[in-house]
Structure 1
Amino acid sequence: MADAQSGAPSALLAEIEAAYVSPFGPGSLPSRPRTLKSPPNFMLLVSHGAACDSFPIVAHAYHRLAEEGIPPTVLIIGTNHRCLGANIALSRRPWRSPLGTSQVDTELLQSFLDSGYVVDEQGHAAEHSIENQLPFLQHLAPEVRILALGLAQLSFAEAQNLARDVARITADRNVLILATTDYLHAGEGYYDQPPRGLHLHEFIRQRDAPVLAAVAALDSELLLRTAGATGMCGLWPAVVLLLAAQELGFTECQLLKYAVSGEARAC
């Protein structure tokens, strides 16, 4: 996990519950979720940041997931930050967190393998963008299965092909498609810095605003243009999610919560 305090199950559980009731969280613990019996009519785009500054924001998505119902399988599309191994990489290993082990949906995995995609654990081994979703999923539904799909740098044509395959493979399956991003990274330790006189948080909000607008419009090409101009960590999972949403006939996007990580930081 991305936060050293999360190593013990009790500590991680406390962080999750605190995130739900945080001033930046949804304000209450989720009700016991029902199992979704038919394919979900929604997707999720969530943060993959560290527990101490993203968990309250992420909690909004999982609170809504509990309300809507949880399907038996979640396809998690994450970022391969270090661009290790294949540009589009599946994982066949079970994924562990202090709260338990998430098994892989082997039938879903095989469908992707049959479509020409490959298993490559190299990028997944040192990656947090998918891993950081496990505590919330396991807290809500310990038996949920997953399939991890890591993306490094893609071309738009590759993203389109992948999105078509994601839509085709999941269309008749009871699978939630979830992608992760973190929008702009700026401030100490990063390339992007606010100009003199502009507070860092306001700088980030200004840079993120057109990116959020592109996501809200379900416009993948606009997202590519705006993210290229402003910066976005986790661009390709978001692009593939939007393209898959179009393939599956989704027409609306709702912003559940946005905040700059430093605003919500608890560490």
Structure 2
Amino acid sequence: MRNPTVAGQFYALDPSGLEKEISRCFGDIDISQQNIHGAVIPHAGYMFSGPVAAYAFAQLPEADTYIILGPNHTGLGSAVAISQDTWSTPLGNVETDKELGKSLAGSILDVDEMAHMYEHSIEVQIPFLQYRFSHGFKVLPICMGLQDEETALEVGNQISSAITESNKKIFVIASSDLTHFEPENVANDTDKYLIESIENMDVHEFYRRISERSATACGYGPISAMLTVAKSLGGRTGKLLKYGTSADVTGDSSSVVGYAAVVIE
């Protein structure tokens, strides 16, 4: 069992409090399933990024399995790590798709729970899924410590092959925040530049722009792997649903973190 590590910090520990917190994030956003092929969703504390994340979650389709790709902030575990544990949150337990996990394990992807033990980037997405969907979905958490372009493309291609061979409805989420701890005007400019390449679904250009700007988006590997999968599933373009920064909450524009909800149509 993978127990929550940031409940009571990034989001409410009490189940009823957590449901209210997520409900506030959705606010008056229209919840309507869309024919989308992937999504970029931020992963900060709900008070900061939850209202942005909700824009993407509102459009997610029902799926048998949600693959959640997140960066490895802790440095623990394998370079690209699959979890097969049941994941627990204050809203209950969610099973992992062990069959899909086994089909992906090997080569660059390892089954390794250590990488997930203290990592928040995937954990914070699951309560949103539990709030949004009542059907018995599963998740497949994949934590990427190695995020270079070659690795991201390989991970994306392997996931694409596994989806093609599966008879399940599978949806891929890339968990990532954008610019970290820069003045808001710098973050806005850099993030707009990066989001443009995500909307164009151009992985190589995305990496070029990251290098050019020395950008600090933490989940660029997960984003690129998701784009690779989405393109193989027929995705043609990305659409920015919502952008914001931590300054929207704190009022401090001198050092912000950027958040974007992007879906692939």
Match of 1:151 among 128, 132, 144: 144
Deviation at 1:114, TM superposition (A): 5.8
**Superposed displacement of residue 117, structure 1:** 2.7
Structure 1 runs not aligned, ≥5 long: 22-26, 187-192, 194-199
1:210 deviates by 0.8
Mapping of residues 1-267 of structure 1, within 5 Å: 1=6, 3-4=8-9, 6-21=12-27, 27-28=28-29, 30=31, 41-65=36-60, 69-113=61-105, 117-142=109-134, 143-171=136-164, 172=166, 173-186=168-181, 193=182, 200-228=183-211, 229=213, 230-264=215-249
Count, aligned residues: 240
Contact preservation (8 Å) 1:180, 1:237: yes
Deviations 1:41-87 (A, max 9, x none): 5211100111110110011111112xxx3112111111111221111
Q: Is the 8 A contact 2:38 2:227 kept in 1?
A: no
How far did residue 179 of structure 1 move? 0.9
**Letter in structure 1 aligned against 2:175:** T
Quote the RMSD (CA, aligned, Å). Answer: 2.1
For 1:139 and 1:249, the matched residues in 2 are separated by: 28
Identity of aligned residues (%): 27
**Higher CA-based Rg:** 1
Q: C-alpha distance in 1, partners of 2:233/2:31?
A: 28
Show the counterpart of 1:190. Answer: none
Alignment partner, residue 262 of structure 2: none
C-alpha displacement at 1:248, in angstroms? Answer: 2.9
More strand by share: 2
Measured in 2, the distance between the counterparts of 1:71 and 1:154 equals 26
Contact 1:151–1:236, Cα closer than 8 Å, also in 2 = yes
TM-score of the superposition, structure 2-length normalised? 0.84
Q: Tell me whether 52-61 or 117-126 shows the greater mean CA deviation.
A: 117-126
TM superposition score normalised by structure 1: 0.83
Report the 3-state secondary structure (helix = DSSP H, G, I; strand = E; otherwise coil) of the residue aligned with 1:259.
strand
